[in-house]
Structure 1
Amino acid sequence: MHARLLAGISFAALVLAGQASAADKSATWQAQIGDTASVQTQAKGGAGVTIAVIDTGLVSTNSEVSGRVAGGSACAAVTFTCSNGYYDDNGHGTAVAAIAAGKYTSTIYNSMSGVAPAATILSDKSLNASGSGYDSDIANGIRKAADNGAQVINLSLTFTPTTAVINAINYAASKNVVLVWAGGNGATNFNGGATTSGLTAAAAARLLFVGSVGATNTVSTFSNKPGTGKVSAGTTSTTYANLWLMANGENIVAPGIQFGSSVYASWSGTSMAAPEVTGAVALLEATWPILRTNGTATTVLLKSATDLGAKGVDATYGSGLLNLAAAFQPIGTTTVTTATGTQTNLTLSGGVMVTSSAIGEATPLRQALSGYTIFDSFSRNFSADLSHLVATVSSDSLMALPSEPTRPVASARTYFTGGGWAAAATTRPLNFAEGVWGDGLAAGPGEGDLAARLMGQRERGLTAMTLVDARGDVMSVSRGGGSTSAFAEAFWGADSAAADQAGRLQASTVLMGLAQGGYATSVGANLGGRVRLAAGWTETDQQYGVGLIGDRTRSTARATAIGANVAVTSGWRLGATWSSLSESNGLLGATYDGAGLLALGDHRDSRAISLTSTLGLGGGRSLIADAAWVSTSGATAGGGLVRDVSPLTARAFGLALAQDDAFRAGDRLSLGVRKPLRVTSGQLSLATTTVDDQGLPHTAFETVSLVPSGDETDLDLAYAAPLGPDATVAAQLSLRSDAGNVAGRNGAALRLGVTSRF
């Protein structure tokens, strides 16, 4: 059967660059396919991909293609003899090749280059000087192109689905080759509306037909339309419309070698629209080799096309207008590869991890997630910033004073005859987040408000009761508040300078400070005057936890502490405390969704040994030292991005000097230096996925440190003095360096308060 090439139905010689009457060849594409230059850069211009042009041949010395013509280029005709090999003696083939893969130059004609300017061009001459050939010539050209490594074949000629051509298409498709066919210039329905039969399923998946639009994206008057005809592949069939794209085919500037070796012409026809699509396939497969392996490059273009009608069923515009910019964006569901090698839907997988001051902002983890590999529905890899999965505490919260929050408190204290007293207190609702991070966490908009929602917005009012007998034994119970000060009083004795400073330094109570907001109790007793024992227990709100509201895998924590101090000399007491922390979906105060992407283990246990010393210096002065060393168990993380977490070590310590009766009887002045809890060693294994040169994913594990970027130091100056028998005034100035163990985050806070008794 005779085949006639679809030559441009109109063209005019452009003799001088300055006399160009049409837009340069790529400017007409930019309106329909977006930022072509950006896509070309991402795809490296299609380098590594071979585009075969089955046409009238190619002038290999033309500046558009010079240096990129494949050595396998040859005459593929079987019904006529090529006197000069694959040399183009018509002009059509060279123009088509330049539109698909013309190189970048700065001339007026092609300042934006061909679609795939770095692709290799394979010319298989199958049409003669007048643009004619037979189906056997076309079929042989297709086969030769497939055998010579073509990844995409452009056929800007009449579609003639004879047995020879169909068999050749099937052969090329079996080698993962995409075939792009011009839709024709007859202003009629494609292939006369007849069904194309005999194709394999692989061939139907790798076949595209292209119609033409003009500058307004309206179908060109000459362009064929897909109509309602079908392609039959085995037991299935699909309409031409489902395999049909539109591209600009009017007034495309390309070489016009028939007018001179360096002359350009204005070309029109579906012959010009087809190579735009061919170049787009080359860019896609150069960027994502998996599309060639899976045979899905054509589907990507069809799915991403701009709808000009009823997509896939429109008898005029088919699947729509080529949109290369959209084709380079993720399509469908995005997924990540988990530590177990499975794909997890990124849009449905939540689980934001909220950091704690012990690990700072988790900077190494945030950096590892900032360029993380995700995949779309076509198994294409993209780089995405997933650092938002790590939520950090707000600057305001980190600047809060390290001691427990102060609120207006309604309290009553009753003194017993013979010594001792009992007290009860209540305050406005307090949640765990505020107890750990400070009032700023839940106050006002911004990061603090977000963190409050994540960490536990279900507030509970504080209720506390304390009983102190004549010997100084202490028992306290509370719900909804902090527990560190209560344990310090049980350990050292109520209202003592040592208890006051230990409550501020928060080393011996560091693990209890990570499990507040629920029930808590502390007891302390003197044994013979030289030894004092204390025990404490506290938990987060077990009904609501500290994680996301409604999350059945919420974070909760419980802590216990047992300690004793002994009088070494009349002015020196030395104490030791053993404490434990049991966290569910938590790690040293950091919380996460146990089923989320950044789960760090269902259950974590921490142990702490602390040493505390108080030394009387005489004259009402005392020196208090407090230090704790913490170890946390490792864990297998589960089904998220983290495979496992190593055992962790952490430390906290502080030193305070207190002066009683500094300026007046009953006052207390203190100066403290504090290093709050900070992880000193430990890491996690994060799944990281790369793709090979075939586009196949490979997952390895990156070791990510959990040591924070900063090392917080707090300087705390406090003063309290009585205002008569029923009132006390207190002031506290705190200076913080690397607040929250975040490097460079510094701040100061001042707190004033008055306590009245009535």
Structure 2
Amino acid sequence: FFSQLFEIYNYYDVEIVNNSYGYSGNIIDYTEAQVRNAFPKTIAEMSQVGTPDSEKTIYVWAAGNAGGYADQGADYSSPELLPGMAHYISEIQGHSIAAVSVDENGVISDFSNRCGVAQDYCIAAPGGSITLAYPTSNDDLGIYTGDTNNATYNDCIQDNSCYAVASGTSFATPFVSGGLAVIADYFEGQLGSHELVARLFSTANKKGIYDDAEIYGQGLMDLDAATQPVGQMTAMLTQNFNGPMVPATFTNIQLSSPSFGDAISNGIGNQTIIFFDELGAPFRNSLTSLTSDYRNQISNLESFSGLQEPSLLRADSNEGIFEVGTYKKYNSAQELITPTHLLDTLSERNQFFTYFNSTNNTFISQGVNGSWALGIFQDSELRLINKLRSKFSNPWLNFSAAGSSFGSIVTLSQDLNLAFTISSGRNKFQANEIFGETNSSTVAMIEVQPQNSMPSIQFGLLKENDSSLGFSGSGAFNINNKHLTTFIGLSDSLNVMRGKIFGSLYWGSSAGTKNEFGIIDSISNLHSSAFGIGYLKSSIFHKGDQIIITIDQPIRIESGQLNLNVPVYRTREKNVLFNNINFGLNPSGREINSKVEYLTSYKNIGIGISLGYKSDPYHIKFMEDYWYASLGFNIKI
């Protein structure tokens, strides 16, 4: 009977079979030889020889209710014959389970057999006082009253919808069978049969009374634990499931530059990735959740410098100018600002100093963009306006702005100077304190400075470690180090209409990279740009007042591609399937900042009024454009 029945299950690839037959006889009453001789065909069908362990049908058995006959001398120390068969038959171990019953208090039911000798293949589940469907028919109403004249008449018998409360290991078994189905469904069919059983057993509650394996076997079934990660989650570095892995905790993408805008989030969309726990089970995560958007980190805002008013001391002399200061919190422009405590924790990064030696035309700095004395800032008047630095400085020197810079200007002829600067340090907008030390950069730049109306030309090279224009990753998203970007820039300032017109234009090209390990397969060549134009006029209404008009675009990726190989599915045979995701890195919008600022003073009080308009904030098309205005005062003591 059993062999024929199980043959049908195997033929139709049934995944889980719930068994409760009331076949009496305790497993310990027999030897292995007796069991094999009595059930050769049944064992053959249950063993499923030739079928991979991952595809075998799982058999769940009611352990038996011999405890209810203990007063008659029944042995209930181990499961009955068929439920306990895995104790003897190695071929069915891993896909045959005996289920014992616990009552409403979670204690082994009096009537239930114990796990005993089959404890390695046995688990406990609720089987006492279970509400269950109670079938009825016209011929058999069971416990229900069918007399319509009786006050206790039961309407449910008309449509066979009656329920009753019952107890037995027959009712614990469906909890185990159903639990296996829940686990299989939760993991989207990615776990093999033996893995499902192993996970059910390893995650069962073994605390307290459930530590007694003679009674509870592997413990009390715990579906919540079975669907939670076991141990540390890991991410794949290769396409081999048995290859090297890294902790999933540190696997993420950091954007510490506004240049990418929403390109990453748009490209990733609603794509997912799977990580693995210590049992090899896959857990699905959103790729978006692994991306740290620079908009969520105040220190990563390219426009942050524009929102800050420096508190500084400046010393002027014939030999040069020295300034030292700290940027203070300032958010009157209604930018996206994160809580104040984050600014406080990063306050040490906001300290800076600059020194320009007029005698030998050398300059050094710490904590600011290293081009603060080049480009339009060759003009000493513009150099003293700190607010212009974030808009008109060379944008690629921001990637070393948290470090030190040194430069010098050499006179080649009456009409031509040549300047150079070297800058080394961390990305000023890098907020990742764990991996940030490796994300340092070095910039070397030469600027040709005509001493006539011709614009200055900058040529430079940026070398980033473990980052590409502020795009960096960690863990399985780690990318190759030593990324190189070459760039060129034009800048000039001209006296026009009793004022001064100034502007800058920058273009960069970053070499692509291909990774041997990790999810990021390759990054193509990247092209980036930035520009700004402004007008300054002094003494408009009275001596000393100023109006400054600026229009600028922060650094933006103009073209480039990112190619990802993302693990998205694991077969029951532990082969991992990958999704190749390729998308452009240019953002949907182009941020343009327009601002008019009027500065004046009365006695020792400085007054500043500004009005600005920002379109496509952070290079994101769907973000609303907005106006902002501010009014500020400072008092010289």
TM over 0.5: yes
CA distance in 2 between counterparts of 1:646 and 1:209 reads 57
Aligned length: 582
Distance change in 2, residues 1:339/1:677 (3 Å): farther
1:135-161 CA-to-partner distances (Å, cap 9, x unmatched) read xx3344334533453333332123665
Distance change in 2, residues 1:739/1:244 (3 Å): same
- Equivalent position to 2:555, from 667, 672, 677: 677
Is 1:576 equivalent to 2:464 in the alignment? no
After TM superposition, list the pairs within 5 Å mapping 1:146-161 onto structure 2: 146-157=10-21, 158=23
1:291–1:297: 8 Å Cα contact kept in structure 2?
no
Aligned partner of 2:381 in structure 1 is: 495
- Equivalent position to 2:341, from 424, 431, 445: 445
After TM superposition, list the pairs within 5 Å mapping 1:609-624 onto structure 2: 609-618=488-497, 620-624=498-502
- Equivalent position to 1:703, from 549, 569, 582: 582
Deviates more, 1:625-634 or 1:185-194: 185-194
- Equivalent position to 2:258, from 357, 372, 381: 357
Distance change in 2, residues 1:332/1:409 (3 Å): closer
Question: How big is the shift at 1:649?
Answer: 0.8
Distance change in 2, residues 1:514/1:728 (3 Å): farther
Aligned partner of 1:517 in structure 2 is: 402
CA distance in 1 between counterparts of 2:403 and 2:495 reads 36
Is 1:248 equivalent to 2:147 in the alignment? no
CA distance in 1 between counterparts of 2:554 and 2:538 reads 25
CA distance in 2 between counterparts of 1:501 and 1:192 reads 84
CA distance in 2 between counterparts of 1:526 and 1:730 reads 38
Distance change in 2, residues 1:622/1:320 (3 Å): same
1:218-250 CA-to-partner distances (Å, cap 9, x unmatched) read 4333211223x24xxxxxxxx35x522223353
CA distance in 2 between counterparts of 1:195 and 1:381 reads 31
Is 1:410 equivalent to 2:313 in the alignment? yes
After TM superposition, list the pairs within 5 Å mapping 1:286-685 onto structure 2: 288=187, 293=192, 295-307=194-206, 309-311=208-210, 313-338=212-237, 340-341=239-240, 342=243, 344-350=245-251, 353-360=254-261, 362-364=263-265, 367-368=268-269, 371-394=272-295, 398=301, 400=303, 403=306, 405-415=308-318, 421-428=319-326, 444-445=340-341, 459=349, 461-469=351-359, 474-488=361-375, 492-496=378-382, 503=389, 505-506=391-392, 509-524=394-409, 529-540=414-425, 548-549=432-433, 551=435, 554-566=438-450, 572-593=453-474, 596-618=475-497, 620-685=498-563
Question: How big is the shift at 1:459?
Answer: 4.1
Letter in 1 for 2:592: T
Aligned partner of 1:110 in structure 2 is: none
SS across alignment from 1:653: strand
SS across alignment from 1:537: strand
Aligned partner of 2:110 in structure 1 is: 221
Aligned partner of 2:150 in structure 1 is: none
Distance change in 2, residues 1:580/1:718 (3 Å): farther
SS across alignment from 1:610: strand
Distance change in 2, residues 1:749/1:635 (3 Å): farther
1:217–1:248: 8 Å Cα contact kept in structure 2?
no
1:355–1:362: 8 Å Cα contact kept in structure 2?
no
Is 1:183 equivalent to 2:84 in the alignment? no
CA distance in 1 between counterparts of 2:471 and 2:595 reads 25
CA distance in 2 between counterparts of 1:536 and 1:755 reads 35
SS across alignment from 2:480: coil
Aligned partner of 1:99 in structure 2 is: none
SS across alignment from 1:600: coil
CA distance in 1 between counterparts of 2:134 and 2:336 reads 65
Aligned partner of 1:165 in structure 2 is: 39
Aligned partner of 1:132 in structure 2 is: none
Question: How big is the shift at 1:268?
Answer: 3.3
After TM superposition, list the pairs within 5 Å mapping 1:726-745 onto structure 2: 733-743=611-621, 744=623
CA distance in 2 between counterparts of 1:202 and 1:387 reads 45
Question: How big is the shift at 1:738?
Answer: 3.2
Deviates more, 1:496-505 or 1:305-314: 496-505
Question: How big is the shift at 1:202?
Answer: 4.6
CA distance in 2 between counterparts of 1:535 and 1:755 reads 37
Is 1:204 equivalent to 2:93 in the alignment? yes
Letter in 1 for 2:379: G
CA distance in 1 between counterparts of 2:167 and 2:387 reads 86
CA distance in 1 between counterparts of 2:549 and 2:12 reads 82
Question: How big is the shift at 1:717?
Answer: 2.0
CA distance in 1 between counterparts of 2:187 and 2:59 reads 18
SS across alignment from 1:512: helix
Question: How big is the shift at 1:282?
Answer: 3.9
Letter in 2 for 1:574: P
Question: How big is the shift at 1:533?
Answer: 3.1
2:364–2:407: 8 Å Cα contact kept in structure 1?
yes
1:159-213 CA-to-partner distances (Å, cap 9, x unmatched) read 6652233763354233412111111111121248998677454511111111223
2:449–2:457: 8 Å Cα contact kept in structure 1?
yes
CA distance in 1 between counterparts of 2:635 and 2:455 reads 32
Question: How big is the shift at 1:710?
Answer: 3.3
Letter in 2 for 1:577: Q
CA distance in 2 between counterparts of 1:719 and 1:526 reads 36
Distance change in 2, residues 1:443/1:487 (3 Å): farther
Question: How big is the shift at 1:467?
Answer: 1.7
1:428–1:462: 8 Å Cα contact kept in structure 2?
yes
CA distance in 2 between counterparts of 1:315 and 1:376 reads 29
Question: How big is the shift at 1:675?
Answer: 0.9
Letter in 1 for 2:325: T
1:712–1:736: 8 Å Cα contact kept in structure 2?
yes
CA distance in 2 between counterparts of 1:738 and 1:562 reads 33
1:337-373 CA-to-partner distances (Å, cap 9, x unmatched) read 3355446354453455243111135542784576322
CA distance in 2 between counterparts of 1:334 and 1:501 reads 46
Distance change in 2, residues 1:752/1:340 (3 Å): farther
Letter in 1 for 2:43: I
Question: How big is the shift at 1:749?
Answer: 6.2
2:308–2:327: 8 Å Cα contact kept in structure 1?
no
Question: How big is the shift at 1:585?
Answer: 1.7
1:718–1:732: 8 Å Cα contact kept in structure 2?
yes
CA distance in 1 between counterparts of 2:399 and 2:192 reads 52
- Equivalent position to 1:277, from 173, 176, 179: 176
SS across alignment from 1:277: helix
1:683–1:703: 8 Å Cα contact kept in structure 2?
yes
User: Which structure 1 residue ranges, 5 or more long, are not aligned?
Assistant: 1-136, 231-238, 416-420
Deviates more, 1:699-708 or 1:146-155: 146-155
